[in-house]
Amino acid sequence: MSGAHRYTFRSDAGAGVTRRIAADADVARIVLPAATSTGGSDLATPEVFGEIADAGRFRAVSLQWRMLVSRCAEPNPFMEPAVAEATAVATGMTPHVLLAWKRAGAGAPELVGAWLLAENRPSSRLPVRVLACPINALTFLGTPVLDRTCMVEALAAMLDLVAASAHLPKVLCASDIAADGIVLPALRQALARLGTRPVEIERRARAKLDLSAEPSAAVDPAISRKHRSELRRRRRKLMEHGTLAHVSHRTPAEVGAALQEFLRLEATGWKGQSSQGGRAVLKAAPLAAFATRMIEGLAGDGCAGIDALRLDGRPIAMNVWLRSGSGVFGWKMAYDEAYRRWSPGTLLLDDLVQSFAQDATIRFIDSCNRTDATSLAHSWSGRQIVVDLIIDVRRGGSWHGRWVAATEYAYRQAKTYGREIYHAARRRRRPVRTANAAGHGD
């Protein structure tokens, strides 16, 4: 191939294998040849091999991706082709999708892994480039999607690609990796093959609701009978102000229109106020463009919906949720603060949970909150543990990777201490504060 580069690397067994890098306008990938000859003897080709793809290539293998999601170890809606496309179109960043394929006899290879990454700077803003996941502040889970039958092999193929690439950074900032599942141990095993290991720089817990036991699990044991009675009372109070209706938006056209309503509703609340530290999506045009493209794209793939609690047709609470495999993921919630005393966000979320619990294919709901220091954590007793990792793919690690890890760890620690001091000072100034009872995103 014209313009291709060739080089060799050493496998774990020490055998020399030649790879060829191919690049064109549509796809950049590392291709493993069908067979390689060394010293006159043929070497068996790896059963699992990797590819570095762009958003267009990822979309082209959508059918294989859907099949992977149906049998994956841990689902993740933030690894979807629609997210890669939104990254490429709306952010100016080039997404790098690490794909792992497994040869299936004489047939077409089977997709066994996908990990969406993008080049960025670390959260500490060190002047270095790293591969980061999740993509940005509107994506909340970085766990790769893997076939549970060959997780270590798929991850090893992906990491090999990054290590062998002449153009990609060799340090990964992998944040919000699920720590209580089976993917993280597989990642540690794959890194051990490179003679390295991930550095954990932060660990957090966020609210999660397990629906797998019984359909009746929609009523979390943590929610008391008294609390449910209070929710019914607040619903009746809202109905005194007009016609109260729960409306679900599912088609791409419905979701697109409802998303714009949601963004405006969010911007009118405290999140739209800079003085309150608000981070409404509409406050940042690039994020708004990304959010619109991502949610509309996910809705087109059947992976996103928006539910609204409407009073005389006007939204007083809206919840944007994502779907992947057996999980539902709360993306964002907003509510009309004029009705805050009646907790419209909590009422809407209660309706949603009851609805999701009737779907036997849904096993859990991940709040996607940053921590469990939210009102939702008081209602849901389950927890999703996530970790932020620094991964150096160079064999044996490097001083550069250790420097990035040490800096990131120090930055996170300083930020945590600063946050604790800030909140302690606020508590001294305002010892009594009314809790907000709304759901996701509050």
pLDDT at 276: 53
For residue 178, pLDDT beyond 80: yes
Same-domain pairing of 232 and 372:
yes
63 and 165 inside one domain: yes
Confidence (pLDDT) at 168: 97
Determine which helix (DSSP H) or strand (DSSP E) holds 426, and give its type and residue range.
Answer: helix 399-429
Any idea what the Cα angle at residue 343 is, between residues 338 and 345, rounded to 5°?
Answer: 95
Q: What's the gap between Cα 370 and its chain centre?
A: 12
d(CA 53, CA 168): 13
Same domain assignment for residues 229 and 176: no
Predicted confidence (pLDDT) per residue in 68-94, tens digit: 999 999 999 999 999 999 999 999 899
If one counts the domains in the chain, the total is: 2
Expressed as residue numbers, the domain containing 342 is 209-385
Least confident window among 30-39, 171-180, 380-389: 30-39
SS3 404: helix
Residue 214 shares a structural domain with residue 155: no
Residue 29 has pLDDT above 70, yes or no: no
Cα dihedral across residues 23, 25, 28, 31: positive or negative: negative
Taking residues 148-174, what's their average pLDDT? 96
pLDDT over 70 at 332, yes or no? yes
Q: Which of 38, 54, 126, 130 is nearest to 89 (CA)?
A: 54
Q: Which residue has the higher pLDDT, 7 or 318?
A: 318
Q: Which of 385, 400, 429 is the C-terminal boundary of a domain?
A: 385
Greater model confidence, 323 or 92: 323
Element (H, E) at 102: strand 95-102
E-strand ranges in 275-420 read: 304-311, 314-324, 327-335, 364-366, 382-392
Confidence of residue 224 (pLDDT cuts 50, 70, 90): low
Q: Is the pLDDT of residue 439 over 80?
A: no
Predicted TM-score (pTM) of this structure: 0.85
Whether 442 maps to a domain, the answer reads: no
Percent of the chain, pLDDT > 70?
83
Q: What is the pLDDT of residue 379?
A: 81
pLDDT value of position 274: 65
* The pLDDT value given to residue 278: 67
- How sure is the predictor about 228, in pLDDT bands with cuts at 50, 70 and 90? confident
Residue 333 tokens, joined: 């919630």
The CATH number that applies at residue 282 is: 3.40.630.30
Tell me, yes or no, whether 434 lies in a domain.
Answer: no
Q: Are residues 362 and 336 in the same domain?
A: yes
pLDDT at residue 66 tops 70: yes
Same domain for 109 and 222, yes or no, is no
Q: Report residue 378's pLDDT band, with 50, 70 and 90 as the boundaries.
A: confident
pLDDT at 215 over 70: no
**pLDDT exceeds 60 at position 3:** no
Do 143 and 239 have their domain in common?
Answer: no
57 shares a domain with 192? yes
Asked if residue 350 is part of any domain, the answer here is: yes
Q: Which of the pair, 423 or 139, is modelled with greater confidence? A: 139
Average pLDDT, the chain: 85
